[in-house]
Amino acid sequence: MATSESATLSKAVKQQYMELPQGDKVQAMYIWIDGTGEGLRCKTRTLDVEPKSIDDLPEWNFDGSSTAQSEGSNSDMYLIPAAMFRDPFRKDPNKLVLCEVLKYNRKPAETNLRITCSKIMAMVADQHPWFGMEQEYTILGTDGHPFGWPSNGFPGPQGPYYCGVGADKAYGRDIVEAHYRACLYAGVEICGTNAEVMPAQWEFQVGPSEGIKMGDHLWAARFILHRVCEDFGVVASFDPKPISGNWNGAGCHTNFSTKEMREDGGLKAIEDSIEKLGKRHGYHIRAYDPKGGLDNARRLTGHHETSNIHEFSAGVANRGASIRIPRNVGQDKKGYFEDRRPSANCDPYGVTEALIRTCLLSEEGAEPADY
C-alpha cells in the first residue's frame, strides 16, 4: 500500500523544534471549506496574544482562484472566524479557527452554507434542536487502495469487521485512537467511535450538539482527521461508495430531536416530523450530498443497510429505511429519530438546516423558503 513521503520524515527531529518556546506569540490555523463543498484548506498566522473568543480573532483573506472559489482577476476572498478550538497538533495556547468565506463583495461564497444555517437555527433557538451525526469514513493509501487490503485482491467478506477486534479485523486503529484523543483535546463534542462493516472503514460520532454547533464541530473533527491521517501518511476518504460491489458505502446518519420530542409524549412530534419529511424527499436528497444527490445515488441502492434513493420510508429499528426510530424511542414514546440518508461527504450545515426547514418551519416544495 502506498503512503506519502512526508510520513517517512523523522518525527523525532520535528519534535526538537516543536518543543522550542514560542514566547507570548500564538499560532492560529485558519480553516475553511473550499469550492468543492467538501474539501478543507488551511493556513496559519501569528497573533500577539492568546484569543479568548471569536471576537479576538482578526479577519483574513486568501486567493480564491486557487481553491475553485473565484477568478484570478478578482481573487481575494475573506475569512471570517466562526468557531475556535484548541490546537491538538501545536498544543496550547495555539488555536484552530473554523471560518466562513465571503467573496470580494462581502456576500457569502457558494459553498458557505454556514451563514444561512446560522440564521435558520436562530429562528428556532427556543425549540433547542439537538443533532448527533455519525461520520463514516474509509482509510486509503495515497494510491486510493483501502488500508490493509491485499494489493491484488480483496479481504474476506463483510461480517467480522463491524466493531471488530484483532489485527485481521480492525484495520488502522492507531489512526482512530489518535483522532479521538485529538478531538477531545480540541474541545470537539465527539462522543464515540467504532469500526464499520467494510474493512478499513470506521465511524466517529459527534453530538449531541445544539443548533449551529453541530456543523462547526463536525467540520472541525473532519479537519483533525485529515491532519492525523497526513501524519500517518494515509488518506481519509468520505466518498459515499469508495469500493463498488458487495461492500457497504459510507454515510453520515443524522440524529435529530427538539425539546418537545425529548419530553413525555414526544413521539407525536417525531411522527409529525417524519410525515413532513416524507412529503419533501427530493429536496432532502439534493441537500444531503455536495453534488445534489449524484454521490448518494451510488450508495442509496436499497442494499447494504440503505434505503432506495427514489423512495421514502420509515420504521422502528429498520436500518433499511430512510428514517429510523430507535426501538427504545418507540417504547418510551419520546426521544429522537435518525435520518439515514445523508452521505458521508455531506455538508452538515446543509443537512441540519434542511431538517429544521422541513420539520420545524413546516416548509413544503422543492426549494427552500427565503426569510
Tell me how far the alpha carbon of residue 181 is from its chain's centroid.
17
Q: Look up the domain containing 321 and give its range.
A: 121-360
Residue 371: inside a domain: no
Residue 116: inside a domain: no
Given this model, what pLDDT does residue 255 score? 98
pLDDT of 1 higher than 90 = no
Residue 292: inside a domain: yes
C-alpha cell at 55: 471576537
Residues with Cβ within 8 Å of 188's Cβ and at least 6 positions away in sequence, in order, are 85, 206, 217, 220, 221, 224
Residues with Cβ within 8 Å of 94's Cβ and at least 6 positions away in sequence, in order, are 26, 27, 28, 29, 86, 87
Work out the mean pLDDT of the chain and round it to a whole number.
Answer: 96
Q: Element (H or E) spanning 86, and its range?
A: strand 76-86
pLDDT of 167 higher than 90 = yes
pLDDT, tens only, 313-323: 999 988 889 99
What proportion of the chain, given as a percentage, has pLDDT over 70?
Answer: 100
Helix ranges (H only) for 248-368 are: 259-262, 267-278, 281-287, 294-297, 327-332, 348-359
For residue 65, the number of C-alpha atoms closer than 13 Å in the C-beta half-sphere is 6
Query: Is the peptide bond between 208 and the residue preceding it cis, with omega within 30 degrees of 0?
Result: yes
What is the average per-residue pLDDT within 165-180?
97
Enter the pTM of the model.
Answer: 0.97
Residue 11: inside a domain: yes
What is the average per-residue pLDDT within 305-311?
93
From 48, 76, 111, give the residue that closes a domain.
111
Given this model, what pLDDT does residue 72 score? 74
pLDDT, tens only, 102-144: 999 999 999 999 999 999 999 999 999 999 999 999 999 999 9
Domain at 45, CATH number: 3.10.20.70
Whether 182 and 326 share a structural domain: yes
